[in-house]
Structure 1
Amino acid sequence: MAEREAALIVCPGRGTYGKAELGYLKRLHTDKADLIAGFDRLRSERGQQTLSELDGAERFSPALHTRGDVASPLIFAAAYADFLSIDRSRFDVAAVTGNSMGWYIALACGGAVSPEQGFAIVDAMGQNSQAGEAGGQVLLQAVDEDWRAVPGLREELLAAAAAIDGRPGCALHLSIDLGGMLVFAGNEAGLTALLAEGPATPGREPLRLVNHGPFHTPLMKGSSDRAMEQLPAGWFGSPEVPMIDGRGHIWRPFASAAGALHRYTFETQILETYDFTRAVQVAVKEHAPDRIILLGPGETLGGAIAQALIAIEYRGLSSKADFQDIQASPAPVLLSMGREDQRNLVTG
């Protein structure tokens, strides 16, 4: 039998279940009926609409499907079902990471919590964010059209955010370091000031993320406190495979304290910047995967992964064109399960 390829698994965050993904569970995971039914029962017991009802809706509703208490569990179920669909005769899971909410999915994929516990965590945190703290997020691009860093722009953006955060009535922080993009989060005054006064950025216009709170900032203290109270440390155990968190720290099998993992997940991870760029870079340097597998739904994280790799010239990549070339080769570095052509390479 051919030797299995080492795979880094990347779990998606919020914003990946959109109009094109409606029906994802119904279309792609009919063989996971028991898993989905179990998640549906947990939702029904809390008086919530089931995933089957939400995923099977006739139309995608931005007002409904992007809400934290709806989007988060849908994304968890789709991503975890994708994880179970990976052909293990071809791929060996070397490590797991994720972006933002994807950390909760990574906990389940990495075996640090059970699938049911992972779903309960995501469901609870989705409700937290929907009820939660005032504020939001805005995404700005810091790379040029070739996905190379614009000299000095990152530093300018961070300096502008720090200056705004120092003003009375303003709160603004770096929320997520996302490949060639920076996500800032804050209150309305802070976000408005950044959009009005921040340096010009290339490519896309600054994007206000719909139904997103001020994640990964001190503004989420109430959410962190509720999570620490509601979600028990006893659910957590040592992972079965290495997990790379939003600092680039590696949680290793048989060497990770459950209490520390619980505190990181519901304190540090909620209140401090999530450095997805560093997580990807540490993962590929430490675990040298043959392939990076991005779980669905969606594929919007693919660009951020590529930009993180270009920044360290991984496998000689130095531009968007280089990445496109390797993706068109017989051995693409990134396989996105949200794309039908690449999905088939993962599931067989």
Structure 2
Amino acid sequence: MSQARNHRIGGASRERLLIVCPGRGTYNAAEWGTLNRLAGGREWLARFDALRDEAGMPTLTELDGETPFRQSLHGRGEHASALIYACAWADLLAIDRERYEVVAVTGNSMGWYIALAAAGALGPDEALHLIGTMGLRMQESLAGGQVIYPWVDEGWRPDWALRRELLALIESTHGREGAELHLSIDLGGMLVFGGNETGLARLTELLPARERFPLRLHQHAAFHTPLQEGVKRAARRELASLPLRAPEVPMIDGRGHVWTPWSTDPERLWNYTLGEQLVAPYDFTAAIRVGVREFAPDRIVIPGPGATLGGATAQALVQLGWKDLDDKAAFQRLQAEEPRLVCMGIAEQREWLLAREPMPSLSA
């Protein structure tokens, strides 16, 4: 690896990391117990628990250990969001900063709120308040829902004609016979649609069956669409004093816009976080594109829980031709030779970021 690209501390180079924070849907039955295993007894988790208890909600320690997993309970916005954040926070704190330099932070959907904490634009307790508040407001309204559908083939090769056809379904469906349908998230090789029940039912009828798709996401509202206008108004009132500040490292939002430590206006950041971000499509693919092109990371790291965001991130990298990737097989070969995409929800990959022994050097 070119030493010029690496920051050096005490004569030792640090690898450059792009952090990609996970969103909803990453804490499921298989992840139950993760938080207590990684952070049980930690002071910050006890503080999170105390804040939850003060708010009249079950603690994260209880949800992750004492209370058997039930999707109807653990999947609720105010619980799922906080559990995901706490698991991700445990992973972020575990990264060896003597060996790794975080050069930028982004996330998918709710992962934007985690990114605010990861980049230092919010303190950890403040981020818990934001995440808990937004999760509760979304759960209370549950305005609309989401359906996900792939537009790449089984080898992750883009089918641009199919993508155009899928996007055209929004225009042909929205506004007809009471249907509301919007693009919610541009998620690597998948499109996430948000809409009301009429719009989603009509969409599901039109989409050809493909393995497990179209897939309705459980307990998900129509995030990042105009159906969240009510949530936006409530959140702006309730979180008017949210103490956002300039980040310590650059953040990439759901438009691909970069918020830097030296140019961020906290008021504009508040307006985006509790404004456009809630009611306009979230372009996760653009965030990844900007992250790899503008910050040239050596590795891309996805904190846990789980590893479901890994596929979408890898698909975005294939679309970009990053490291000459052109399909799923090429990505798998790269990972086998020298993993560049590290999912901390996979135990053996998490260990790579904790190990003190030097990893094999990357090729230039």
> TM class by shorter-chain length?
over 0.9
Report the 3-state secondary structure (helix = DSSP H, G, I; strand = E; otherwise coil) of the residue aligned with 2:66: coil
Q: Are residue 54 (structure 1) and residue 63 (structure 2) matched?
A: yes
Deviations 1:15-61 (A, max 9, x none): 00011111111111236x11111111111111110111101135211
Q: 1:295 corresponds to which residue?
A: 303
Question: Is 2:174–2:181's contact at 8 Å kept on the other side of the alignment?
Answer: yes
Report the 3-state secondary structure (helix = DSSP H, G, I; strand = E; otherwise coil) of the residue aligned with 1:229: helix
2:182 and 2:209 mapped to 1: Cα distance?
18
Q: 2:226 corresponds to which residue?
A: 218
Q: 1:101 corresponds to which residue?
A: 110
Report the 3-state secondary structure (helix = DSSP H, G, I; strand = E; otherwise coil) of the residue aligned with 2:233: helix
Query: Residues 1-348 of structure 1 correspond to what in structure 2 (within 5 A)?
Result: 1-30=11-40, 33-198=42-207, 200=208, 202-329=210-337, 331-348=338-355
2:242 and 2:202 mapped to 1: Cα distance?
43
Question: Is 1:144–1:202's contact at 8 Å kept on the other side of the alignment?
Answer: no
How far did 1:202 drift? 4.8
Question: Is 2:126–2:242's contact at 8 Å kept on the other side of the alignment?
Answer: no
How far did 1:151 drift? 3.5
| Superposed CA RMSD | 1.2
2:74 and 2:60 mapped to 1: Cα distance?
11
Q: How many residues align?
A: 345
Question: Is 1:75–1:297's contact at 8 Å kept on the other side of the alignment?
Answer: yes
Question: Is 1:139–1:182's contact at 8 Å kept on the other side of the alignment?
Answer: yes
Output the amino acid matched with 1:339.
I
Deviations 1:221-280 (A, max 9, x none): 011111111113551100000000000000001200000000100110000000001101
Deviations 1:182-226 (A, max 9, x none): 00010000000000023x365542110000001000000011111
Question: Is 2:142–2:219's contact at 8 Å kept on the other side of the alignment?
Answer: no
Report the 3-state secondary structure (helix = DSSP H, G, I; strand = E; otherwise coil) of the residue aligned with 2:254: coil
Report the 3-state secondary structure (helix = DSSP H, G, I; strand = E; otherwise coil) of the residue aligned with 2:101: strand
Question: Is 1:65–1:71's contact at 8 Å kept on the other side of the alignment?
Answer: yes
Output the amino acid matched with 2:342.
L
Report the 3-state secondary structure (helix = DSSP H, G, I; strand = E; otherwise coil) of the residue aligned with 2:154: coil
Q: 1:248 to 1:210 in 2, by over 3 A?
A: same
2:205 and 2:319 mapped to 1: Cα distance?
29
Output the amino acid matched with 2:333.
D
1:133 and 1:29 mapped to 2: Cα distance?
31
Question: Is 1:144–1:203's contact at 8 Å kept on the other side of the alignment?
Answer: no
2:289 and 2:218 mapped to 1: Cα distance?
28
1:193 and 1:203 mapped to 2: Cα distance?
19
Question: Is 1:133–1:223's contact at 8 Å kept on the other side of the alignment?
Answer: no
TM-score by length of 1: 0.97
2:269 and 2:209 mapped to 1: Cα distance?
37
1:29 and 1:227 mapped to 2: Cα distance?
30
Work out the percentage of aligned pairs sharing the same amino acid: 52
Report the 3-state secondary structure (helix = DSSP H, G, I; strand = E; otherwise coil) of the residue aligned with 2:13: coil
TM-score by length of 2: 0.93
2:314 and 2:72 mapped to 1: Cα distance?
31
